[in-house]
């Protein structure tokens, strides 16, 4: 028996544990009022979050542990969750389970019970289970597990008041551990032998749980912290073949037995979901469906971004006239630096970047909420295994479509340090949202301008082809890295395929706009403002021959650009566009126009005329697209890679790899085109 801790002021600490994708973070947000991002794929929560939940005036600190399938510590998430429970010793553990997948969720609950901690079970997602015809016998479940059970639907708030009331009552009562998993006779005999040698602690974990870890030969657990005064090396530990497998098999069998006793699932539901997954994940239908979904999202983005982008540019132009009046009394160089430099670049980035992101992110978040993204990882896992990595890398690629910096940060969900580093180094091969506008413009001008109403679809198909090329390059570079700089064996991983869920449109819009669109846009604006001032200085600073520094630099780079089927203005634009990919094409136009300010052409025909007047051909457009797809990451992504890897060396590799690929492909296309063109 472990009595509640004595304190003059009543307060408690409760750990929130559960499998990935059971709505644990949603329960945490509902109880604490915090807004931790929740996602419908495994491994979303990779760090702990803390918040205060006040029930009847009693403060309860909730610790949201990383989502984990077990306490066997085979991943960073499992290690973090297990170590917190062992060494921090919360007053109770609130285990959140999915009502639709109770059997799998109970494995973690049974392991936590064995620790000897007070456990309270919260069955979440009742609404989804009821829609699927799944019924649970809560009294029988509580009886079999010897713990309180409350059902909730956290997204709608159903059952939360009862959960709070019963949780506080549970915390105020003395706790007696009654449930124990029955193991095979050989395991039980070995446990008895080890337990006799261990002291009876006054706090969790229990001697039985410690004995299980000794039998499993768990080297990741710091036993000396739990048994500081015991000569661990002198313990007599029986050696049993495959003891770890026998232990987890017994836990799984117990979870299956309890779940089957309390759960009723209509057979028609199983068959329907199985048929749907056979189509979505089919050998001949899965990849084509993925390509069609991407094409649809890209087409909607291309078509929908034009009008709001034009409206933003028009609004910024009117605001510019107001600012001109305010700064009319200042020196010309101040007006130029602030308006022609900083303001012009900043507004261009916003007008060009915001509309596509505001369309793309919500559509992509809908797929995430629906439960489709984990199935993408499942489909691509064989390809990544052939390349020496794992399927989780596909999830980071999906995040990179919005922003490569976010994709690099998302690589934390990959357990293997080697595979995590490969994912970070290759993430930039997937074009981020900031590169889409320039790609769409070039595709429209040189490949779809004469198609009329079909130009948008052609541009979307072109973007899809570039995405497929980027994916292929990701596989190739991952393979090369796995067999050269980062050799190793691909790791196995557990990826849950969650049930299909009806997306919450309102929350999707809020999350995609606030958490993603505005966040990414804000980071781009922070670097675009000073970049605009620097570009203005280069464009307006003149040399002794009367030529601007910008044009002179482009002229010096002309011979180098010719090798790759480009020109000096394009190479210089990529270098100056390092702070933000959105400004590469505008810088090219500014150099061609020999203008002291960023060129803002809203008429595509005028842009096409200017490009063709400066020697652009179909070959130039192809090489420009290839270099736009494969070049060094933007400054924000580079800083993110440095932060995640703690190494300037690997940051340099991340910049060098795609750049060499892009320049190599451009040189190849230029050579072949010159030979046969």
Residue given tokens 């440095």 in the structure block? 642
With H, G, I as helix, E, B as strand and everything else as coil, classify residue 602.
coil
State what percent of residues in the chain have pLDDT above 70: 89
Least confident range from 27-31, 144-148, 403-407, 560-564: namely: 403-407
Using a 10 angstrom Cβ sphere, with 0-12 exposed, 13-18 middle and 19 or more buried, the burial of residue 640 is buried
Residue 130 has pLDDT above 90, yes or no: no
Beta-carbon contacts of 557 under 8 Å, excluding residues fewer than 6 positions away, are 567, 568, 569, 571, 572
Residue 1 has pLDDT above 50, yes or no: no
* DSSP 8-state class, residue 87: I
Q: What was the pLDDT predicted at 37?
A: 46
For residues 676 and 567, give the distance between their C-alpha atoms in angstroms, rounded to a whole number: 21
Greater confidence, 540 or 672? Answer: 672
Residue 346 has pLDDT above 50, yes or no: yes
For residues 113 and 136, give the distance between their C-alpha atoms in angstroms, rounded to a whole number: 21
Residue 246 has pLDDT above 60, yes or no: yes
Q: What was the pLDDT predicted at 385?
A: 86
Read off the pLDDT band of 194 (50, 70, 90): confident
Bridge partners of 542, per DSSP, are 548
Greater confidence, 599 or 190? Answer: 190
Q: Compute and round to an integer the Cα radius of gyration of the chain.
A: 29
Q: What was the pLDDT predicted at 44?
A: 44
Residue 58 has pLDDT above 60, yes or no: yes
Sign of CA dihedral 583, 589, 592, 595: negative
Q: What was the pLDDT predicted at 651?
A: 95
Residue 614 has pLDDT above 50, yes or no: yes
Q: Global pTM?
A: 0.73
For residues 272 and 300, give the distance between their C-alpha atoms in angstroms, rounded to a whole number: 30
Mean pLDDT of 44-50: 61
Read off the pLDDT band of 126 (50, 70, 90): very high
For residues 666 and 623, give the distance between their C-alpha atoms in angstroms, rounded to a whole number: 5
Three-state SS for 114-179 is HHCCCEEEEEECHHHHHHCCCEECHHHHHHHHCCCEEECECCCCECHHHHHHHHHHHHCCCECCCC
Q: What was the pLDDT predicted at 496?
A: 66
Greater confidence, 627 or 3? Answer: 627
Residue 305 has pLDDT above 70, yes or no: yes
| Residue 32 CA to its chain's centroid (Å) | 24
Cis before 161 (ω within 30): no
Beta-carbon contacts of 182 under 8 Å, excluding residues fewer than 6 positions away, are 188, 250, 254
pLDDT tens string 394-449: 888 888 887 888 889 888 878 788 999 999 999 999 998 778 888 988 988 888 76
Greater confidence, 22 or 39? Answer: 22
Greater confidence, 561 or 496? Answer: 561
Least confident range from 164-168, 535-539, 544-548: namely: 544-548
Mean pLDDT of 62-83: 80
Q: What was the pLDDT predicted at 39?
A: 44
Read off the pLDDT band of 551 (50, 70, 90): confident
Mean pLDDT of 485-500: 73
Q: What was the pLDDT predicted at 449?
A: 63
Helices (H), 196-266: 207-216, 223-226, 243-262
Give the pair of three-digit tokens for residue 559: 């011979």
Work out whether strand 263-264 and strand 135-136 pair parallel, antiparallel, or are unpaired. antiparallel
Mean pLDDT of 277-300: 89
Least confident range from 68-82, 378-392, 416-430, 472-486: namely: 68-82
Mean pLDDT in the chain? 84
Q: What was the pLDDT predicted at 40?
A: 42
**Crossing angle of the two packed helices 455-482 and 436-447, in degrees rounded to 10:** 120
Q: What was the pLDDT predicted at 598?
A: 57
* DSSP 8-state class, residue 2: B
Q: What was the pLDDT predicted at 38?
A: 44
Residue 547 has pLDDT above 90, yes or no: no
Mean pLDDT of 642-651: 93
Residue 663 has pLDDT above 50, yes or no: yes
């Amino acid at each position: 028996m472990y009595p509640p801790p004595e304190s003059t002021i009543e307060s408690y600490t409760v750990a929130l544990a559960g499998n990935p994708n059971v709505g644990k973070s949603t329960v945490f947000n509902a109880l604490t009022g915090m807004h931790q991002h929740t996602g419908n794929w495994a491994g979303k929560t990779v760090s702990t979050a803390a918040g205060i939940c006040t029930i009847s005036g009693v403060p309860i600190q909730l610790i949201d542990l990383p989502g984990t399938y077990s306490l066997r510590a085979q991943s960073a998430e499992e290690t973090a969750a297990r170590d917190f429970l062992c060494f921090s010793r919360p007053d109770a553990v609130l285990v959140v389970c999915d009502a639709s997948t109770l059997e799998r969720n109970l494995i973690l609950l049974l392991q936590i019970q064995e620790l000897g901690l007070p456990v309270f079970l919260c069955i979440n997602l009742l609404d989804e289970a009821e829609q699927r015809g799944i019924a649970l016998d809560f009294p029988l479940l509580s009886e079999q597990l010897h713990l309180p059970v409350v059902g909730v639907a956290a997204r709608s708030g159903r059952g939360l008041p009862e959960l709070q009331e019963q949780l506080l009552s549970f915390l105020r009562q003395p706790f007696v551990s009654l449930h124990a998993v029955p193991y095979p006779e050989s395991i039980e005999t070995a446990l008895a032998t080890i337990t006799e040698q261990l002291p009876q602690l006054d706090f969790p974990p229990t001697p039985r749980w410690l004995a299980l870890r000794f039998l499993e030969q768990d080297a990741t657990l710091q036993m000396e912290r739990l048994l500081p005064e015991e000569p661990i090396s002198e313990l007599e530990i029986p050696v049993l073949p495959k003891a770890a497998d026998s232990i987890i098999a017994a836990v799984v069998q117990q979870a299956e037995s309890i779940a089957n006793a309390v759960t009723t699932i209509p057979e028609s539901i199983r068959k329907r979901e199985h048929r749907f997954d056979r189509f979505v994940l089919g050998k001949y239908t899965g990849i084509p469906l993925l390509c069609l979904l991407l094409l649809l999202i890209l087409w909607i983005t291309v078509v929908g971004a034009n009008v709001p982008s034009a409206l933003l540019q028009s609004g910024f132009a009117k605001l510019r006239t107001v600012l001109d009046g305010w700064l009319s009394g200042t020196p010309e160089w101040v007006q130029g630096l602030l308006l022609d430099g900083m303001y012009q670049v900043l507004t261009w980035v916003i007008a060009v970047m915001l509309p596509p992101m505001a369309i793309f992110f919500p559509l992509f978040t809908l797929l995430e909420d629906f439960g489709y993204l984990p199935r993408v990882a499942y489909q691509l896992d064989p390809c990544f295994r052939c390349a020496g990595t794992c399927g989780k890398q596909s999830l980071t690629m999906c995040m990179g479509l919005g922003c490569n910096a976010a994709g690099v940060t998302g690589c934390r969900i990959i357990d293997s340090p080697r595979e995590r580093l490969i994912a970070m180094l290759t993430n930039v091969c997937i074009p981020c949202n900031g590169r889409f506008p320039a790609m769409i413009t070039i595709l429209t001008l040189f490949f779809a301008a004469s198609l009329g109403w079909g130009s948008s679809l052609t541009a979307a198909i072109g973007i899809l082809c570039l995405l497929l090329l980027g994916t292929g390059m990701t596989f190739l570079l991952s393979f090369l890295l796995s067999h050269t700089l980062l050799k190793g064996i691909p790791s196995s991983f557990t990826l849950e395929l969650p049930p299909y869920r009806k997306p919450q449109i309102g929350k999707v819009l809020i999350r995609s706009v606030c958490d993603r669109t505005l966040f990414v846009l804000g980071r781009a604006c922070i670097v675009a403002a000073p970049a605009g001032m620097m570009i203005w200085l280069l464009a307006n600073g003149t040399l002794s021959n009367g030529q601007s520094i910008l044009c002179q630099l482009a002229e010096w780079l002309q011979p180098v650009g010719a090798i790759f089927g480009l020109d000096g203005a394009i190479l210089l634009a990529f270098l100056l566009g390092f702070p933000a990919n959105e400004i590469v094409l505008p810088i090219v136009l500014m150099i061609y126009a020999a203008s002291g300010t960023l060129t803002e052409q809203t008429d595509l025909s005028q842009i096409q005329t200017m490009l063709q007047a400066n020697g652009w051909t179909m070959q130039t457009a192809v090489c420009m697209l290839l270099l736009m797809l494969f070049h060094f990451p933007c400054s924000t992504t580079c800083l993110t890679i440095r932060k995640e890897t703690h190494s300037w060396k690997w940051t340099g590799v991340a910049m060098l790899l795609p750049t060499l690929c892009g320049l190599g492909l451009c040189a190849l296309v230029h050579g072949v085109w010159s030979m046969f063109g």
